[in-house]
Structure 1
Amino acid sequence: MTPQDNADRSTHFGYQTVPESEKARRVADVFHSVAARYDLMNDLMSAGLHRVWKAFTIGQAAIRPGMRVLDVAGGTADLARAFAKRARGQGRDGREGEVWLTDINASMLGVGRDRMIDDGLLMPVAQCDAEKLPFPDEYFDVVSVAFGLRNMTHKDTALAEMRRVLRPGGKLLVLEFSKLVPGLGALEKLYDVYSFKVLPWLGAKVTDDAESYRYLAESIRMHPDQATLKSMMEGVGFDRVEVFNLSGGVVALHKGWKY
């Protein structure tokens, strides 16, 4: 495939179809715009539930002293900070704990880095593309990505990269918005109104940016459902993939192992 062929390939940016080469820039614009008030908006949008979803993910990660952990698209470092507090110290094999906070977006990464420093957590930070992770094979014990996979152009490529950097016996945790479980008809209608009316209005009031939150709502709808994402993880080589529906499937945690 020539460079021109690659440039002409299309993908989704919310409900829009755009050239692949344009999506990364548009996603970057969204997160540059919302970074300063990202955490406040998370609390407002989810009524604080995002903290519960992340706490469940942190529990499933089961980080111990001495572990090496990679937080992909870690943004403002909610997971990385919790992981770092648990990984500090020496493990049974003599390794010192190591937690990397990474994100492709400099504005989000800057907020996360500052929060880590404020907590006294001097852990490494790297701006990088999840589809081209700058880490050696079989280095990490745990890899996580929370609310970032749906913004990636080639999700299968990113998942394969996360598996590549995991050691045998390591696990991947993917926390992401998903699809409501069947049988919640009335809630589905309410959820649509909230997503496409309330969220953009809230974004306009709090961040002066309704369009970014309209994109976020659309990107949730375009993201693969639970079964499809499970199949994608299995397709790149993950084993024993488990799915945990949270809040009726509004969010799902996928956990897979590398053997």
Structure 2
Amino acid sequence: MAFRLARNRALIAPAKSALGAIPRTALFYSTSSKPASSGQPQASEAETHFGFQTVKESLKAGKVAEVFSSVASSYDVMNDAMSFGIHRLWKDHFVRSLNPGRKSGGSPMAILDVAGGTGDIAFRMLDHADKINGDRETTVICADINADMLKEGEKRAQQQGYISTNRISFRVENAETLDSIPDNSVDLYTISFGIRNVTRIPMALKAAHRVLKPGGVFACLEFSKVSPAPLDAIYQQYSFSIIPLMGQLIAGDRDSYQYLVESIKKFPTQQEFAVMIKEAGFMNVGKGYEELTFGVASIWKGVKPLDSK
């Protein structure tokens, strides 16, 4: 099936200020925030979805961690296979639309990339800041709840020569709490293909709002709902018939990729997620989202109001 990349330009300039409380340290891991306990849940505990399954909220983070530990080593290869390489174009467009890096007269940026895993977005941010804006001082914290994914990112950072620059660090963090990230300390918060795996998405959005500086930007790239309906029918057939089979053949793990396609199906619509972002305290940018490739993926952006505390 042929796809066409949408090329709408997002007109937004993230606020810039001093790096402040974000430490510009070398690569390290912080275990200050861990997945919810996988012990016996209370009878009255709220439930959520894990793909098409219904599970106790305390169990989801552990189940998601198992999925991504299983696929960590083959994650990038599978992304190329599943999307025919189009995910690279989406990510390039996502980063260009944010234009990270210090502008004339401004300060280096403090960027937090949540669910950053193997560093795909983080490295693009740093490359853009350097090559487009001539900025080698902007820093990125790559945060993920899964240490195995972060280890893959560390390997790539070593290969690309970023380890010695102190421009990137890796931390184990829960997106719902971001315990080690101070209030009002981040210029740009990004999350790419990760928010749908969070147990309590509204809590993650509130955490994003807390750590961003007033005027800071929240930006999310995630799978979304395809239209028109005939195209969506073909996409659903591909997702549920072919992707798990690819997972079995390439990664030796059908079940994890069955969960991944189910999690996409369960994610809110573009309009619903834009409302959730607004309810977390952000101002939507334009209509709140930009669709890519007929809605296979979308970009959502929000700005933290200048008068926020």
TM-score (norm 2): 0.78
Contact map agreement 1:69 1:141 (CA 8 A) in 2: yes
Question: Which amino acid letter does the alignment assign opposite residue 131 of structure 1?
Answer: E
C-alpha separation between the residues in 1 aligned to 2:94 and 2:209?
18
1:172 matched residue in structure 2: 218
Q: How does 1:128-207 map to 2 (within 5 A)?
A: 128-133=173-178, 134-181=180-227, 184-207=228-251
C-alpha separation between the residues in 2 aligned to 1:82 and 1:187?
31
C-alpha separation between the residues in 2 aligned to 1:230 and 1:5?
33
Question: Which amino acid letter does the alignment assign opposite residue 250 of structure 1?
Answer: V
Contact map agreement 1:87 1:99 (CA 8 A) in 2: no
Residue by residue over 1:119-139, the C-alpha shift from the partner in whole angstroms, topping out at 9 and shown as x without a partner, is 111311111101111211111
Q: How does 1:22-171 map to 2 (within 5 A)?
A: 22-65=59-102, 66-87=108-129, 96-122=137-163, 123-133=168-178, 134-171=180-217
Kindly indicate whether residue 258 of structure 2 is the aligned counterpart of residue 210 of structure 1.
no
RMSD: 2.1
Q: Aligned in 2, Cα 1:18/1:86: closer, same or farther, shift over 3 Å?
A: same
Question: Which amino acid letter does the alignment assign opposite residue 225 of structure 1?
Answer: T
Contact map agreement 1:138 1:168 (CA 8 A) in 2: yes
Contact map agreement 1:71 1:99 (CA 8 A) in 2: yes
Q: Which has the higher contact order (CA 8 A, sep 6+)?
A: 2
Gap regions ≥5 residues in structure 2: 1-39, 103-107
**1:220 aligns with one of 248, 264, 279:** 264
SS of residue paired to 2:226: coil
Query: Shift of residue 28 of structure 1?
Result: 0.6
Q: Aligned in 2, Cα 1:85/1:69: closer, same or farther, shift over 3 Å?
A: same
C-alpha separation between the residues in 1 aligned to 2:120 and 2:216?
21
**1:248 aligns with one of 294, 300, 307:** 294
C-alpha separation between the residues in 2 aligned to 1:180 and 1:4?
36
Q: Equivalent pairs: percent with the same residue?
A: 41
Residue by residue over 1:203-251, the C-alpha shift from the partner in whole angstroms, topping out at 9 and shown as x without a partner, is 0000111110010000001001101100000001000332100000110
Contact map agreement 2:283 2:304 (CA 8 A) in 1: yes
TM-score (norm 1): 0.92
Question: Which amino acid letter does the alignment assign opposite residue 200 of structure 1?
Answer: P
C-alpha separation between the residues in 2 aligned to 1:239 and 1:14?
30
Question: Which amino acid letter does the alignment assign opposite residue 61 of structure 1?
Answer: L
State the number of aligned residues. Answer: 253
